[in-house]
Amino acid sequence: MNAEDVELCRVYGQMSREYMSERSWEECEPQLREGWLRLRRNPDLSWEDAAPLVQTFWQLTPASPA
């Protein structure tokens, strides 16, 4: 994983959290997986490899108020 991949994980995790707000990671993960497969720039970076980092940024981002 290179710096560009990490940055994409950061942006994806933060923006997804802001968009999905109060929903849990477990509830959103299938939708996030589908989105990642369309969004990723590096076809060799699987969701299984990216998910822990995306989840970290998701958890660091405050949920938007409803």
Q: Is 55 inside any structural domain?
A: yes
User: Which range marks the domain in which residue 49 is found?
Assistant: 24-59
Q: Is 18 inside any structural domain?
A: no
Q: Is 29 inside any structural domain?
A: yes
Total Cβ atoms within 10 A of residue 12: 20
Domains in the chain: how many in total? 1
* Res 33: pLDDT: 96
Q: Is 14 inside any structural domain?
A: no
| CA–CA gap between residue 50 and residue 54 (Å, rounded) | 6
Q: Is 7 inside any structural domain?
A: no
pLDDT 10s per residue in the chain (66 long)? 899 999 999 999 999 998 888 889 999 999 999 999 998 888 889 999 999 999 999 999 887 665
* Res 32: pLDDT: 95
